[in-house]
């Protein structure tokens, strides 16, 4: 008789093609969209940010350095001037910014710097393709040397014109300039105090012994991550769908006819539980199968994958029967609607289905793993990375405990014979 109950609920599910499309087709669409849109961010690929900077120097750096030294010779003894010249020989603020910072390999990958003459300023400011225009004032280097060597109170400033329509690019430029200022200030401090900058660098040859890579797990691609994230999220909606079907059977007095037919209400309870488990298990296999065929997402340990899918399906069965029991008890579908409309989405967010928020906080990671979908996702990700069952055992244990707890609460909540809703 349990089989008949499962068969009936399965037929009602298959007779709703829109619901089936949402359960099976939606995760595939989301995997394609999110995996493509956020793939570069997660995989460490080059950034698609396009930053274009015009660099306009109104002065002559070497000429200003020579002029500054000549002025010092007329005011200070020759020995003092030679000492200053030796200590400041490498302090060239404009060259450092243009060549060492903006021209560095890392920055040049995302920033296109073009030198321009002062006469081109008008045209540059009207060109919307530029993210920013950096202008070096005519006496910038001379004034900077005065500030560094003679401790003049006012620090010279660059003039930066920003294109506010390119907010991300502007933030990149600001970050680069802030980093330049910090590094140049540090260099000035080291030079003034006669400290070798090399002492602050880590000498990779200073340590002895064998260098070993600690984490040698397989990398997880963006499509792999979102395949797991979308599947563990969407199967939650399967639980609410079966719960809604079960409550519909109560409203149409199917459940009452079962009771009047001298059948134990626990038979119906078991049928709902097994429907959630079995349909959930096959939902996982079907969507992951499509993900393998369409996106090439393969599982290195098939046995571990099947074990996780089975245990996660148990948790889905527990949620299904719990939603059904509470709906029957309160004679309302409000709990199922609340779960599918709000709670499932919140669980998906905490579990990391939309983005790996656990990477930013140990607390968020712990909270996410205390949701069934979060624990399931951590287990699946572990398999993709090459973990075996023993390494993801804590997540499997949590899912089993969660499933049993949900079933126990469902047993307590499920209406007994003779209780009318």
Looking up residue 113, the CATH number of its domain turns out to be 3.40.1710
In a shared domain, residues 311 and 371: yes
Here the tokens at position 410 are 């469902």
| Exposure string for 76-112, b = 16+ CB within 10 A, e = fewer | eeeeebeebeebbeebbbbebbbeebbeeeebeeebe
Q: What pLDDT does 157 receive?
A: 87
Q: Are residues 288 and 390 in the same domain?
A: yes
| Same domain? 405 vs 287 | yes
**133: β partners:** 54, 161
Q: Are residues 135 and 171 both part of a single domain?
A: yes
Give the model's pLDDT for residue 375.
92
Domain membership of residue 372 (yes or no) is: yes
Domain count, the chain: 2
Axis crossing angle, helix 222-251 with helix 2-14, rounded to the nearest 10: 110
- Assess whether 13 and 75 both reside in one domain: no
Q: Is residue 213 part of a domain?
A: no
Residues 13 and 57 in one domain: no
Cα distances from 4 to residues 10, 108, 154, 267, 270, in angstroms, run 10, 67, 86, 10, 12
pLDDT of residue 397: 95
Tokens of 10: 């399965």
Q: Look at residue 316 and tell me if it is in a domain.
A: yes
The gap from C-alpha 267 to its chain's centroid, in whole angstroms, comes to 44
Backbone angles phi, psi at 82, to 5 degrees: -65, -35
Closest residue by Cα to residue 114 from 187, 38, 54, 204: 54
Q: Say how far apart CA 339 and CA 235 lie, in whole Å.
A: 13
Specify whether 170 is located in the same domain as 125: yes
According to the model, what pLDDT value does residue 169 have?
Answer: 78
Instruction: Report which of 27, 382, 78 is spatially closest to residue 217, judged by C-alpha positions.
Output: 382
DSSP at 392: G
Whether residues 18 and 80 share a domain: the answer is no
Phi first, then psi: what are they for 332, rounded to 5°? -155, 150
Q: How confident is the model at residue 297, as a pLDDT?
A: 83
Same structural domain, 89 and 154: yes
Round to the nearest angstrom and report the end-to-end CA distance of the chain.
23
- Quote the pLDDT of residue 253: 64
* CB neighbours of residue 364 within 10 Å: 17
* Cα dihedral across residues 363, 366, 372, 377: positive or negative: positive
How confident is the model at residue 38, as a pLDDT? Answer: 54
* DSSP labels, 204-265: TTSS-S----S--PPPPPHHHHHHHHHHHHHHHHHHHHHHHHHHHHHHTTHHHHHHHTT--H
CA 102/CA 217 separation, integer angstroms: 35
pLDDT of the residue at 201: 47
Whether residues 146 and 244 share a domain: the answer is: no
Domain-located, residue 115: yes
Q: Which of these, 177, 159, 166, lies nearest to 127 by C-alpha position?
A: 166
Residues 232, 225: Cα–Cα separation, whole Å = 11
Domain-located, residue 21: yes
Among candidates 371, 346, 271, which has minimal Cα distance to 9?
271
Interhelix angle 265-295/393-413, rounded to 10 degrees, is 150
Q: Note the pLDDT of residue 244.
A: 80
Strands 111-116 and 51-57: parallel
Structural domain boundaries, residue 231: 2-43+219-413
Is residue 206 domain-resident?
no
Instruction: Tell me what pLDDT residue 19 has.
Output: 61
Q: Are 238 and 316 in contact (CB under 8 A)?
A: yes
Burial class (CB in 10 A: 0-12, 13-18, 19+), 53: buried
Question: Phi/psi of residue 94, each to 5°?
Answer: -70, -45
**pLDDT by position in tens, the chain (length 421):** 666 666 766 666 666 666 666 666 666 676 666 655 555 545 544 444 568 899 999 988 888 888 887 887 777 777 666 766 665 666 678 888 888 788 877 777 778 888 999 999 889 888 888 989 999 999 888 888 888 777 787 888 889 898 877 777 788 888 888 877 776 666 665 555 555 545 444 444 444 444 333 444 567 777 788 888 888 888 888 888 887 877 777 666 666 566 555 666 667 778 888 888 998 898 899 888 888 887 788 888 899 999 999 999 999 999 998 998 898 888 888 888 888 888 888 888 888 887 777 766 778 888 888 999 999 999 999 998 888 888 899 999 999 999 999 999 988 988 765 444 4
Q: Is residue 276 part of a domain?
A: yes
């Amino acid at each position: 008789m349990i089989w008949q109950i499962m068969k009936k609920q399965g037929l009602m599910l298959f007779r709703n093609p829109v619901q089936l499309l949402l359960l099976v087709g939606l995760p595939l669409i989301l995997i394609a969209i999110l995996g493509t849109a956020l793939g570069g961010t997660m995989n460490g690929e080059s950034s698609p940010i396009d930053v274009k900077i015009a660099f306009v120097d109104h002065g002559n750096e070497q000429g200003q350095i020579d002029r500054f030294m000549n002025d010092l010779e007329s005011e200070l003894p020759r020995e003092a001037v030679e000492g200053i010249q030796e200590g400041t020989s490498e302090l060239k603020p404009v060259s450092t910014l243009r060549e060492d910072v903006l021209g560095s390999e890392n920055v040049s990958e995302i920033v296109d710097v073009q030198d321009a003459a002062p006469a081109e300023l008008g045209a540059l400011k009207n060109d919307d393709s530029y993210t920013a225009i950096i202008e070096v004032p005519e006496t910038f280097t001379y004034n900077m040397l005065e500030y560094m060597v003679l401790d003049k109170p006012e620090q010279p400033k660059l003039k930066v014109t920003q294109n506010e329509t390119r907010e991300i690019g502007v933030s990149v430029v600001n970050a680069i300039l802030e980093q330049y200022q910090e590094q140049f200030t540090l260099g000035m401090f080291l030079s003034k105090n006669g400290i070798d900058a090399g002492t602050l660098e880590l000498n990779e040859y200073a340590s002895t012994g064998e260098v070993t890579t600690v984490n040698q797990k397989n990398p997880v691609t963006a499509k792999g991550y979102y395949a797991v994230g979308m599947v563990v999220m969407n199967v939650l909606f399967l639980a609410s769908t079966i719960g809604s079907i079960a409550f519909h059977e109560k409203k149409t007095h199917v459940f009452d006819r079962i009771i009047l037919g001298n059948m134990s209400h626990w038979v119906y309870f078991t049928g709902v539980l097994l429907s959630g488990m079995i349909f959930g298990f096959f939902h996982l296999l079907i969507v992951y199968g499509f993900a393998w065929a369409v996106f090439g997402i393969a599982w290195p340990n098939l046995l571990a994958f099947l074990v996780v899918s089975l245990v996660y399906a148990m948790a889905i069965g527990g949620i299904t029967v719990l939603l059904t029991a509470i709906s029957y008890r309160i004679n309302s579908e409000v709990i199922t609607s609340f779960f599918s409309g709000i709670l499932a989405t919140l669980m998906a967010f905490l579990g990391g289905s939309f983005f790996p928020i656990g990477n930013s906080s140990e607390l968020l990671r712990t909270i996410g793993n205390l949701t069934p979908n979060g624990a399931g996702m951590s287990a699946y990700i572990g398999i993709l990375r090459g973990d075996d069952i023993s390494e993801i055992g804590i997540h499997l244990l949590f899912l089993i405990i969660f499933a049993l707890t949900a079933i126990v609460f469902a047993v307590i909540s499920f209406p007994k014979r003779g209780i009318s809703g």
